[in-house]
Amino acid sequence: MANMFETANALETEPAKIIAGDRLIFKRSDLNNDYSNASYTLKYSARLEGTGSTEIEITASASGSDYLVEVASATTASYTVGTYRWQAYITRNSDSQRLTIDQGTWEVIANRDAATTDPRTHAAIMVDKIESILEGRADSDVSSYSIQGRSLTKLGIEELMAWRDRYKAELLLEKRKERALNGRGTGAKVLVRF
Q: Which domains does the chain have, with CATH numbers?
A: 7-109 (2.60.40.10), 122-182 (no CATH)
Q: What is the dihedral of CA 147, 151, 156, 160, to 10 degrees?
A: -100
pLDDT digits (tens, 9 = 90+) for 82-97: 999 999 999 999 999 9
pLDDT digits (tens, 9 = 90+) for 137-164: 655 566 666 788 887 777 888 889 999 9
Q: Within 13 Å, how many C-alpha atoms sit on residue 9's CB side?
A: 6
Residue 138 has a pLDDT of 56
Strand segments (E) across 50-119: 55-59, 61-63, 66-71, 82-92, 98-109
pLDDT digits (tens, 9 = 90+) for 50-109: 987 899 999 999 999 999 999 999 999 999 999 999 999 999 999 999 999 999 999 999
Residue 143 has a pLDDT of 67
Residue 179 has a pLDDT of 85
pLDDT over 60 (residue 36)? yes
- Are the CB atoms for 157 and 163 separated by under 8 Å? no
Beta-strand relationship, 66-71 and 61-63: antiparallel
